[in-house]
Chain A
Amino acid sequence: MTSVLQAHELGKRYGKRWALRECTIDIPAGHVVGLVGPNGAGKTTLLKLAAGQLEPTSGGITVLGGRPAAGPAQLARVGFVAQDTPAYAGLTVAEHLRLGARLNPRWDAAMARERIARLGLAPNQRAGKLSGGQRAQLALTLGLAKRPELLILDEPVASLDPLARREFLQSLMEATVEHELSVVLSSHLISDLERICDYLVVLVESRVQIAGETDRLLATHHRLTGPRRAPDRLPAGQHVVCARHTDRQSTYVVRTDAPVHDPAWTVTRLSLEDLVLAYMDKPAAADRRALLEVQR
Protein backbone atom coordinates (compact mmCIF):
# COMPACT_ATOMS: atom_id res chain seq x y z
CA MET A 1 0.00 0.00 0.00
CA THR A 2 1.20 3.53 -0.74
CA SER A 3 2.01 6.01 1.98
CA VAL A 4 -0.13 9.03 2.52
CA LEU A 5 2.43 10.73 4.74
CA GLN A 6 6.04 9.79 5.24
CA ALA A 7 8.40 11.76 7.46
CA HIS A 8 12.01 11.07 8.30
CA GLU A 9 13.73 12.86 11.18
CA LEU A 10 11.43 15.76 10.43
CA GLY A 11 11.93 18.86 12.56
CA LYS A 12 10.73 22.44 12.68
CA ARG A 13 12.28 25.14 14.84
CA TYR A 14 10.96 28.61 15.56
CA GLY A 15 13.90 30.63 16.87
CA LYS A 16 15.28 28.54 19.69
CA ARG A 17 12.19 26.43 20.24
CA TRP A 18 11.61 23.15 18.44
CA ALA A 19 7.90 22.87 17.62
CA LEU A 20 8.48 19.40 16.16
CA ARG A 21 11.55 17.22 16.35
CA GLU A 22 12.82 13.85 15.15
CA CYS A 23 9.46 12.96 13.68
CA THR A 24 9.68 9.67 11.77
CA ILE A 25 6.37 8.18 10.67
CA ASP A 26 4.93 6.29 7.73
CA ILE A 27 1.14 6.43 7.45
CA PRO A 28 -0.47 4.12 4.88
CA ALA A 29 -3.21 5.48 2.59
CA GLY A 30 -6.89 4.71 3.09
CA HIS A 31 -7.11 5.64 6.75
CA VAL A 32 -8.80 8.30 8.80
CA VAL A 33 -5.83 9.39 10.87
CA GLY A 34 -6.20 11.15 14.18
CA LEU A 35 -3.40 13.38 15.37
CA VAL A 36 -3.80 13.87 19.11
CA GLY A 37 -1.85 15.67 21.76
CA PRO A 38 -2.15 18.57 24.19
CA ASN A 39 -2.22 22.15 22.97
CA GLY A 40 1.21 23.26 21.83
CA ALA A 41 2.44 19.71 21.18
CA GLY A 42 3.25 20.42 17.53
CA LYS A 43 0.10 19.16 15.80
CA THR A 44 -0.49 22.27 13.71
CA THR A 45 3.19 22.42 12.77
CA LEU A 46 3.13 18.84 11.48
CA LEU A 47 -0.07 19.44 9.50
CA LYS A 48 1.27 22.67 7.98
CA LEU A 49 4.48 20.89 7.00
CA ALA A 50 2.34 18.23 5.28
CA ALA A 51 0.27 20.86 3.49
CA GLY A 52 3.40 22.69 2.38
CA GLN A 53 2.61 25.85 4.30
CA LEU A 54 5.83 25.47 6.29
CA GLU A 55 9.32 24.38 5.28
CA PRO A 56 11.10 21.84 7.50
CA THR A 57 14.16 22.95 9.49
CA SER A 58 15.56 19.43 9.34
CA GLY A 59 14.69 16.04 7.90
CA GLY A 60 12.22 15.34 5.12
CA ILE A 61 8.55 14.79 4.44
CA THR A 62 6.64 13.38 1.48
CA VAL A 63 2.87 13.43 1.07
CA LEU A 64 1.29 10.92 -1.35
CA GLY A 65 4.82 10.31 -2.58
CA GLY A 66 5.51 13.95 -3.50
CA ARG A 67 7.09 16.94 -1.80
CA PRO A 68 4.41 19.12 -0.14
CA ALA A 69 3.27 22.02 -2.35
CA ALA A 70 5.95 21.12 -4.93
CA GLY A 71 3.74 22.29 -7.82
CA PRO A 72 0.15 22.66 -9.04
CA ALA A 73 -0.32 18.90 -9.43
CA GLN A 74 0.74 18.20 -5.84
CA LEU A 75 -1.37 21.10 -4.52
CA ALA A 76 -4.44 19.68 -6.27
CA ARG A 77 -4.02 16.31 -4.55
CA VAL A 78 -4.05 17.66 -1.00
CA GLY A 79 -6.85 19.60 0.68
CA PHE A 80 -6.15 21.62 3.81
CA VAL A 81 -8.75 23.02 6.18
CA ALA A 82 -6.94 25.27 8.65
CA GLN A 83 -7.71 25.68 12.34
CA ASP A 84 -11.22 26.89 13.19
CA THR A 85 -12.42 26.18 9.64
CA PRO A 86 -11.87 29.69 8.26
CA ALA A 87 -13.93 31.36 5.52
CA TYR A 88 -13.90 34.86 4.01
CA ALA A 89 -16.40 36.75 6.16
CA GLY A 90 -17.21 39.28 3.41
CA LEU A 91 -17.85 36.72 0.67
CA THR A 92 -21.14 34.91 0.17
CA VAL A 93 -21.49 31.13 0.08
CA ALA A 94 -21.87 31.24 -3.74
CA GLU A 95 -18.77 33.42 -4.06
CA HIS A 96 -16.79 30.89 -2.05
CA LEU A 97 -17.82 28.19 -4.51
CA ARG A 98 -16.86 30.38 -7.49
CA LEU A 99 -13.51 31.05 -5.86
CA GLY A 100 -13.02 27.33 -5.32
CA ALA A 101 -13.83 26.65 -8.99
CA ARG A 102 -11.28 29.25 -10.14
CA LEU A 103 -8.48 28.04 -7.89
CA ASN A 104 -8.81 24.26 -8.21
CA PRO A 105 -8.26 22.34 -11.45
CA ARG A 106 -10.25 19.28 -10.29
CA TRP A 107 -13.15 21.29 -8.81
CA ASP A 108 -16.41 19.32 -8.56
CA ALA A 109 -19.00 22.08 -8.96
CA ALA A 110 -21.99 19.73 -8.95
CA MET A 111 -20.93 18.17 -5.68
CA ALA A 112 -20.31 21.54 -4.06
CA ARG A 113 -23.76 22.85 -5.10
CA GLU A 114 -25.48 19.66 -4.00
CA ARG A 115 -23.81 19.72 -0.58
CA ILE A 116 -24.66 23.38 -0.01
CA ALA A 117 -28.30 22.69 -0.93
CA ARG A 118 -28.47 19.62 1.33
CA LEU A 119 -27.03 21.65 4.22
CA GLY A 120 -29.66 24.29 3.66
CA LEU A 121 -27.14 27.13 3.25
CA ALA A 122 -28.44 30.13 1.32
CA PRO A 123 -26.05 30.88 -1.58
CA ASN A 124 -26.38 34.65 -1.08
CA GLN A 125 -25.57 34.47 2.64
CA ARG A 126 -22.29 36.09 3.68
CA ALA A 127 -19.90 33.70 5.42
CA GLY A 128 -19.53 36.16 8.29
CA LYS A 129 -23.22 35.69 9.12
CA LEU A 130 -23.04 31.88 9.24
CA SER A 131 -23.08 29.94 12.52
CA GLY A 132 -19.90 28.16 13.55
CA GLY A 133 -21.32 24.83 12.40
CA GLN A 134 -22.41 26.22 9.04
CA ARG A 135 -19.04 27.87 8.46
CA ALA A 136 -17.30 24.58 9.27
CA GLN A 137 -19.55 22.79 6.76
CA LEU A 138 -18.75 25.44 4.13
CA ALA A 139 -15.01 24.97 4.72
CA LEU A 140 -15.47 21.20 4.50
CA THR A 141 -17.41 21.58 1.25
CA LEU A 142 -14.56 23.61 -0.27
CA GLY A 143 -12.07 21.00 0.90
CA LEU A 144 -14.10 18.12 -0.54
CA ALA A 145 -15.13 19.74 -3.85
CA LYS A 146 -11.45 20.19 -4.61
CA ARG A 147 -11.52 16.38 -4.91
CA PRO A 148 -8.24 15.78 -3.08
CA GLU A 149 -6.73 12.36 -2.43
CA LEU A 150 -5.83 13.52 1.06
CA LEU A 151 -7.78 15.96 3.19
CA ILE A 152 -5.99 17.53 6.14
CA LEU A 153 -8.04 19.22 8.86
CA ASP A 154 -6.60 21.10 11.82
CA GLU A 155 -8.87 20.98 14.90
CA PRO A 156 -12.00 21.13 12.72
CA VAL A 157 -14.54 20.57 15.50
CA ALA A 158 -12.86 22.22 18.48
CA SER A 159 -15.12 25.27 18.52
CA LEU A 160 -18.38 23.54 17.53
CA ASP A 161 -21.28 22.61 19.79
CA PRO A 162 -21.99 18.86 20.18
CA LEU A 163 -24.70 18.75 17.49
CA ALA A 164 -22.68 20.68 14.89
CA ARG A 165 -19.69 18.53 15.80
CA ARG A 166 -21.60 15.33 15.16
CA GLU A 167 -23.04 16.66 11.90
CA PHE A 168 -19.60 17.73 10.71
CA LEU A 169 -18.08 14.33 11.44
CA GLN A 170 -21.03 12.57 9.79
CA SER A 171 -20.43 14.60 6.61
CA LEU A 172 -16.73 13.90 6.73
CA MET A 173 -17.17 10.14 7.17
CA GLU A 174 -19.79 9.99 4.42
CA ALA A 175 -17.33 11.72 2.10
CA THR A 176 -14.54 9.25 2.87
CA VAL A 177 -16.81 6.41 1.72
CA GLU A 178 -18.03 8.28 -1.33
CA HIS A 179 -14.70 9.56 -2.61
CA GLU A 180 -12.24 7.05 -1.13
CA LEU A 181 -10.07 9.76 0.31
CA SER A 182 -7.56 9.60 3.13
CA VAL A 183 -8.04 11.99 6.02
CA VAL A 184 -5.64 13.36 8.61
CA LEU A 185 -7.20 15.46 11.33
CA SER A 186 -6.00 16.80 14.63
CA SER A 187 -7.71 17.32 17.95
CA HIS A 188 -6.76 17.75 21.56
CA LEU A 189 -9.92 15.82 22.48
CA ILE A 190 -9.69 12.08 21.99
CA SER A 191 -13.46 11.71 22.30
CA ASP A 192 -13.81 13.57 18.97
CA LEU A 193 -11.60 11.07 17.25
CA GLU A 194 -12.43 7.80 18.96
CA ARG A 195 -15.27 6.85 16.62
CA ILE A 196 -13.89 8.07 13.37
CA CYS A 197 -10.16 7.31 13.37
CA ASP A 198 -8.68 3.94 12.55
CA TYR A 199 -5.13 5.23 12.83
CA LEU A 200 -3.69 7.33 15.60
CA VAL A 201 -0.60 9.48 16.03
CA VAL A 202 0.10 10.73 19.56
CA LEU A 203 2.21 13.85 19.72
CA VAL A 204 3.48 15.17 23.06
CA GLU A 205 6.11 17.87 23.65
CA SER A 206 7.09 18.12 19.98
CA ARG A 207 7.69 14.39 19.63
CA VAL A 208 5.70 11.52 18.20
CA GLN A 209 5.11 9.14 21.11
CA ILE A 210 3.37 6.41 19.17
CA ALA A 211 1.65 5.88 15.83
CA GLY A 212 -0.36 2.95 14.55
CA GLU A 213 -3.73 1.43 13.72
CA THR A 214 -6.13 1.98 16.63
CA ASP A 215 -7.14 -1.69 16.84
CA ARG A 216 -3.52 -2.69 17.06
CA LEU A 217 -2.75 -0.02 19.67
CA LEU A 218 -5.64 -1.17 21.83
CA ALA A 219 -4.57 -4.82 21.51
CA THR A 220 -0.95 -4.19 22.51
CA HIS A 221 -1.42 -1.87 25.49
CA HIS A 222 -2.40 -3.13 28.93
CA ARG A 223 -2.78 -1.74 32.41
CA LEU A 224 -1.08 -3.89 35.05
CA THR A 225 -1.95 -3.46 38.70
CA GLY A 226 -0.33 -5.43 41.51
CA PRO A 227 2.17 -5.46 44.36
CA ARG A 228 4.89 -2.84 44.08
CA ARG A 229 7.58 -3.78 41.60
CA ALA A 230 10.50 -1.90 40.02
CA PRO A 231 10.34 -1.41 36.24
CA ASP A 232 13.63 -3.26 35.70
CA ARG A 233 11.89 -6.39 36.98
CA LEU A 234 9.40 -6.41 34.12
CA PRO A 235 10.00 -8.78 31.17
CA ALA A 236 12.15 -7.35 28.35
CA GLY A 237 9.26 -7.30 25.87
CA GLN A 238 7.15 -5.03 28.06
CA HIS A 239 7.79 -1.41 27.26
CA VAL A 240 6.67 0.88 30.09
CA VAL A 241 4.49 3.77 28.90
CA CYS A 242 3.73 5.13 32.33
CA ALA A 243 4.09 3.97 35.89
CA ARG A 244 2.68 4.96 39.25
CA HIS A 245 3.66 3.59 42.61
CA THR A 246 2.38 3.72 46.16
CA ASP A 247 4.27 2.12 49.04
CA ARG A 248 2.64 -1.20 48.28
CA GLN A 249 1.15 -1.05 44.82
CA SER A 250 2.40 -0.47 41.27
CA THR A 251 0.29 0.49 38.29
CA TYR A 252 1.90 0.23 34.89
CA VAL A 253 0.70 0.90 31.39
CA VAL A 254 2.83 -1.29 29.16
CA ARG A 255 3.09 -1.93 25.45
CA THR A 256 3.80 -5.53 24.49
CA ASP A 257 3.10 -7.88 21.61
CA ALA A 258 2.92 -10.89 23.91
CA PRO A 259 0.03 -11.63 26.27
CA VAL A 260 0.66 -10.91 29.98
CA HIS A 261 0.41 -14.12 31.99
CA ASP A 262 2.08 -13.05 35.26
CA PRO A 263 -0.48 -14.00 37.96
CA ALA A 264 0.72 -11.18 40.24
CA TRP A 265 -0.83 -8.62 37.90
CA THR A 266 -4.42 -7.71 37.37
CA VAL A 267 -4.50 -6.97 33.65
CA THR A 268 -7.11 -4.59 32.25
CA ARG A 269 -7.81 -3.24 28.80
CA LEU A 270 -7.35 0.44 28.10
CA SER A 271 -9.79 2.72 26.36
CA LEU A 272 -8.30 4.85 23.62
CA GLU A 273 -8.56 7.85 25.91
CA ASP A 274 -6.65 6.10 28.70
CA LEU A 275 -4.04 5.03 26.20
CA VAL A 276 -3.46 8.58 24.96
CA LEU A 277 -3.46 9.94 28.51
CA ALA A 278 -0.83 7.37 29.47
CA TYR A 279 1.47 8.80 26.81
CA MET A 280 0.74 12.32 27.98
CA ASP A 281 1.49 11.43 31.59
CA LYS A 282 3.81 14.11 32.93
CA PRO A 283 5.88 11.97 35.35
CA ALA A 284 7.15 9.91 32.42
CA ALA A 285 8.33 13.06 30.69
CA ALA A 286 9.91 14.28 33.93
CA ASP A 287 11.78 10.99 34.25
CA ARG A 288 13.15 11.45 30.77
CA ARG A 289 14.39 14.91 31.65
CA ALA A 290 16.01 13.59 34.82
CA LEU A 291 17.73 10.92 32.76
CA LEU A 292 19.06 13.52 30.34
CA GLU A 293 20.44 15.59 33.17
CA VAL A 294 22.28 12.59 34.56
CA GLN A 295 23.80 11.93 31.15
CA ARG A 296 25.03 15.48 30.93
Chain B
Amino acid sequence: MERPVIEFHLDAKSGVSPYLQLVQQVRHALRLGLLREGDQLPTVKEVVAQLAINPNTVLKAYRELEHEGLASARPGVGTFVTKTLTDTSLAAHGPLRLDLQRWLSKARRAGLDDESIEALFMTTFRTTAQEDIA
Protein backbone atom coordinates (compact mmCIF):
# COMPACT_ATOMS: atom_id res chain seq x y z
CA MET B 1 0.00 0.00 0.00
CA GLU B 2 1.20 3.47 -0.85
CA ARG B 3 2.00 5.71 2.10
CA PRO B 4 -0.60 8.42 2.64
CA VAL B 5 0.56 11.95 1.82
CA ILE B 6 -0.53 13.41 5.15
CA GLU B 7 -1.28 12.06 8.59
CA PHE B 8 -3.96 13.47 10.83
CA HIS B 9 -3.73 14.12 14.54
CA LEU B 10 -6.32 15.15 17.09
CA ASP B 11 -6.09 17.60 19.94
CA ALA B 12 -8.59 16.46 22.55
CA LYS B 13 -8.34 19.67 24.55
CA SER B 14 -8.77 22.15 21.71
CA GLY B 15 -12.54 22.28 22.03
CA VAL B 16 -12.78 22.03 18.23
CA SER B 17 -14.88 19.05 17.19
CA PRO B 18 -12.79 16.17 15.78
CA TYR B 19 -14.34 16.29 12.30
CA LEU B 20 -13.55 20.00 12.04
CA GLN B 21 -9.97 19.37 13.15
CA LEU B 22 -9.57 16.97 10.21
CA VAL B 23 -11.06 19.53 7.80
CA GLN B 24 -8.77 22.25 9.13
CA GLN B 25 -5.70 20.03 8.81
CA VAL B 26 -6.48 19.33 5.16
CA ARG B 27 -7.02 23.04 4.44
CA HIS B 28 -3.81 23.83 6.28
CA ALA B 29 -1.84 21.25 4.29
CA LEU B 30 -3.32 22.69 1.09
CA ARG B 31 -2.25 26.20 2.02
CA LEU B 32 1.25 25.06 2.83
CA GLY B 33 1.43 23.11 -0.42
CA LEU B 34 1.86 19.79 1.41
CA LEU B 35 -1.22 18.57 -0.41
CA ARG B 36 -1.72 19.20 -4.10
CA GLU B 37 -4.44 18.61 -6.66
CA GLY B 38 -4.70 14.91 -7.44
CA ASP B 39 -3.28 13.70 -4.12
CA GLN B 40 -5.21 10.98 -2.37
CA LEU B 41 -6.34 11.64 1.19
CA PRO B 42 -5.87 8.79 3.68
CA THR B 43 -8.69 6.25 3.41
CA VAL B 44 -11.34 6.17 6.11
CA LYS B 45 -9.95 2.87 7.34
CA GLU B 46 -6.43 4.30 7.57
CA VAL B 47 -7.53 7.34 9.56
CA VAL B 48 -9.73 5.29 11.85
CA ALA B 49 -6.99 2.74 12.48
CA GLN B 50 -4.44 5.44 13.16
CA LEU B 51 -6.45 7.75 15.42
CA ALA B 52 -8.91 5.28 16.97
CA ILE B 53 -11.87 7.49 16.06
CA ASN B 54 -15.35 6.85 14.82
CA PRO B 55 -15.52 6.26 11.03
CA ASN B 56 -18.47 8.65 10.74
CA THR B 57 -16.20 11.46 11.96
CA VAL B 58 -13.89 10.93 8.99
CA LEU B 59 -16.80 10.57 6.55
CA LYS B 60 -18.28 13.82 7.83
CA ALA B 61 -14.95 15.62 7.40
CA TYR B 62 -14.54 14.32 3.85
CA ARG B 63 -18.12 15.26 2.97
CA GLU B 64 -17.40 18.78 4.24
CA LEU B 65 -14.28 18.98 2.06
CA GLU B 66 -16.31 17.81 -0.92
CA HIS B 67 -18.95 20.41 -0.13
CA GLU B 68 -16.24 23.06 -0.13
CA GLY B 69 -15.06 21.80 -3.51
CA LEU B 70 -11.64 20.85 -2.15
CA ALA B 71 -11.92 17.11 -2.59
CA SER B 72 -13.99 14.53 -4.39
CA ALA B 73 -14.70 10.90 -3.65
CA ARG B 74 -14.19 8.20 -6.25
CA PRO B 75 -16.34 5.28 -5.12
CA GLY B 76 -14.27 2.24 -4.31
CA VAL B 77 -10.98 4.12 -4.75
CA GLY B 78 -10.79 6.93 -2.24
CA THR B 79 -11.02 10.67 -1.75
CA PHE B 80 -8.82 12.95 -3.83
CA VAL B 81 -7.80 16.59 -3.63
CA THR B 82 -9.39 18.60 -6.44
CA LYS B 83 -8.08 22.08 -5.75
CA THR B 84 -4.98 23.78 -4.43
CA LEU B 85 -5.14 26.53 -1.87
CA THR B 86 -1.63 27.90 -2.16
CA ASP B 87 -2.40 31.43 -3.13
CA THR B 88 -0.48 34.57 -3.92
CA SER B 89 -1.02 35.88 -0.38
CA LEU B 90 1.85 33.65 0.78
CA ALA B 91 4.28 36.31 -0.44
CA ALA B 92 2.69 38.87 1.87
CA HIS B 93 3.27 36.70 4.96
CA GLY B 94 6.87 37.83 5.52
CA PRO B 95 6.29 41.62 5.71
CA LEU B 96 3.09 41.10 7.75
CA ARG B 97 4.98 38.96 10.25
CA LEU B 98 7.59 41.71 10.61
CA ASP B 99 4.86 44.27 11.32
CA LEU B 100 3.35 41.93 13.88
CA GLN B 101 6.71 41.39 15.58
CA ARG B 102 7.20 45.16 15.84
CA TRP B 103 3.70 45.55 17.25
CA LEU B 104 4.34 42.78 19.79
CA SER B 105 7.53 44.36 21.11
CA LYS B 106 5.69 47.69 21.33
CA ALA B 107 2.94 46.04 23.37
CA ARG B 108 5.52 44.47 25.72
CA ARG B 109 7.26 47.83 26.19
CA ALA B 110 3.85 49.29 27.09
CA GLY B 111 3.73 46.74 29.92
CA LEU B 112 1.24 44.20 28.52
CA ASP B 113 1.75 40.58 29.55
CA ASP B 114 1.08 37.62 27.23
CA GLU B 115 -2.49 37.17 28.38
CA SER B 116 -3.37 40.84 27.86
CA ILE B 117 -1.78 40.79 24.40
CA GLU B 118 -3.77 37.73 23.42
CA ALA B 119 -7.00 39.22 24.79
CA LEU B 120 -6.40 42.49 22.96
CA PHE B 121 -5.63 40.71 19.72
CA MET B 122 -8.65 38.41 19.93
CA THR B 123 -11.17 41.14 20.80
CA THR B 124 -9.84 43.38 18.00
CA PHE B 125 -9.85 40.44 15.61
CA ARG B 126 -13.45 39.60 16.50
CA THR B 127 -14.78 43.15 16.29
CA THR B 128 -13.16 43.79 12.90
CA ALA B 129 -14.40 40.41 11.67
CA GLN B 130 -17.92 41.38 12.74
CA GLU B 131 -17.61 44.79 11.08
CA ASP B 132 -16.52 43.07 7.87
CA ILE B 133 -19.62 40.90 7.95
CA ALA B 134 -21.90 43.87 8.68
Contacts and interface: CB of A to CB of B under 8 A. Distances in A.
Interface of A: 31-32, 166, 169-174, 176-178, 191, 194-198, 215, 218, 269, 271
Contact of A195 (B10, B15, B44): B10
B44 A271 contact: no
Interface stretch (B30-38, B52-60, B83-91, B95-103): B52-60
B31 to A, nearest CB: 26
Contact of A196 (B17, B44, B52): B52
Given A171-B49, A173-B48, A173-B54, 19 more contacts: A166-B52, A169-B52, A170-B48, A172-B52, A174-B45, A174-B49, A176-B48, A177-B48, A178-B45, A191-B12, A194-B12, A195-B10, A195-B51, A195-B54, A195-B57, A196-B54, A197-B54, A218-B17, A271-B15
Interface string B60-101: 000000000000000000000000000000000000000000
B18 interface: yes
Contacts of A215: 17
B15 A32 contact: no
Contacts of A171: 49
Contacts of B57: 195, 198
A170 B52 contact: yes
Given A194-B12, A195-B10, A195-B18, A173 B56 contact: no
A271 B16 CA distance: 10
Contacts of B10: 195
Count chain A CB atoms within 10 A of each CB in B15, B55, B57 and give the residue with the most: B55
Contacts of A31: 56
Contacts, number: 48
A269 B15 contact: yes
Chain B, interface residues (CB within 8 Å), range: 10 to 19
B50 interface: yes
6 contacts: A32-B54, A170-B52, A174-B45, A177-B48, A195-B52, A218-B17
A31 B55 CA distance: 9
Contacts of A173: 48-49, 52-55
Contacts of B55: 173, 176-177
Given A269-B15, A271-B15, A196 B45 contact: no
Contacts of A198: 54, 56-57
Main secondary structure of the interface of A (DSSP, over half): helix
Contacts of A271: 15
A176 B49 CA distance: 10
Given A173-B48, A177-B45, A196 B15 contact: no
A271 B18 CA distance: 12
A197 B56 CA distance: 9
A176 B56 CA distance: 10
Contacts of B44: 177
A271 B44 CA distance: 25
Nearest to B60: A215
A194 B54 CA distance: 9
A31 B48 CA distance: 14
Given A177-B45, A269-B15, A271-B15, A170 B56 contact: no
A196 B57 CA distance: 9
A195 B53 contact: yes
Contacts of A194: 12
Contacts of B48: 170, 173-174, 176-177
Nearest to A31: B56
Nearest to A174: B49
Interface in B19-50: 44-45, 48-50
A105 B45 CA distance: 27
A150 to B, nearest CB: 16
A168 to B, nearest CB: 8
